[in-house]
């Protein structure tokens, strides 16, 4: 006799609105952390991907970022918004490290120009947590990866093709990207409009 297992329920990730992200960024007082979080959101990067960005990964001619150390060792290219490029340029001028975009700063910024180590994972996580609290965002489980989830959901909500978002995020399976269909109101609002129009003449 066949047996069936109930699917393990999957929790939907926390999503931040654009206004919440702006509030959070405005509460990040250290410029290097602000530049990091803005880059992570505006390019849809994982924490590790953003930490290990190299100077050579920035293609300002084509306005792309090359992600060479993505999950599963899969390389990809993501669009680089002009405002993000400007932030990255100003941030780099503050340390002028020949390789790393986000080097560990150290006391007095003495080692930032020559270090081969990126900023610490825990330090940027603490900066994010503190900014979320100061911004008054009370959603559960808000962490740096929520910026990536929000990036995908905001693109989908504005009509960007799901396959394109899959490519930007570096997902190997479209099913992974499809979770964001549950997190945007675009399809829902359009469906409600159609339903209301069809059913409008019933009474």
Q: Is there a catalytic annotation at residue 107?
A: no
CA distance to 37, 47, 93, 107, per residue, from 44 (Å): 10, 10, 23, 30
Of the residues 18, 29, 71, 110, which is catalytic?
71
* Tokens encoding 40: 């992570």
The rounded distance, in Å, linking the Cα atoms of 142 and 20 is 11
Q: Is there a catalytic annotation at residue 145?
A: yes
Q: Is there a catalytic annotation at residue 171?
A: yes
Of the residues 33, 151, 168, 180, which is catalytic?
180
Q: Is there a catalytic annotation at residue 139?
A: no
- In the block, residue with structure tokens 């989908």: 156
- In the block, residue with structure tokens 């999950």: 71
* Tokens encoding 48: 């590790």
Of the residues 148, 151, 154, 168, which is catalytic?
148
* Tokens encoding 87: 């932030």
Please tell me the total number of residues recorded for the chain in this structure: 203
Of the residues 46, 91, 95, 154, which is catalytic?
46
Catalytic residue list: 46, 71, 145, 148, 171, 180
């Amino acid at each position: 006799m066949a047996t069936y297992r109930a699917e393990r329920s999957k929790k939907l990730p926390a999503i931040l609105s654009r206004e919440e992200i702006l509030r959070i960024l405005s509460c990040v007082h250290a410029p290097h952390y602000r530049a990091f979080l803005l880059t992570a959101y505006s390019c849809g990067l994982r924490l590790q991907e953003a930490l290990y960005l190299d100077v050579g990964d920035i293609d300002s001619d084509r306005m792309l970022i090359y992600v060479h150390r993505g999950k599963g060792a899969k390389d990809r290219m993501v669009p680089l918004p002009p405002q993000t490029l400007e932030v990255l340029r100003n941030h780099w001028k503050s340390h002028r490290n020949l390789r790393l975009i986000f080097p560990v700063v150290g006391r007095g910024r003495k080692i930032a120009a020559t270090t081969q180590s990126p900023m610490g994972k825990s330090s940027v996580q603490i900066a994010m947590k503190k900014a979320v609290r100061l911004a008054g965002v009370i959603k559960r489980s808000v962490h740096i990866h929520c910026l990536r989830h929000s990036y995908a959901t905001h693109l989908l909500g504005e009509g960007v093709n799901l396959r394109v978002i899959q490519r930007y995020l570096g997902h190997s399976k479209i099913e992974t990207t499809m979770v964001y269909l549950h997190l945007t109101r675009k399809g829902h609002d359009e469906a409600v409009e159609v339903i209301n129009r069809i059913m409008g003449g019933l009474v």
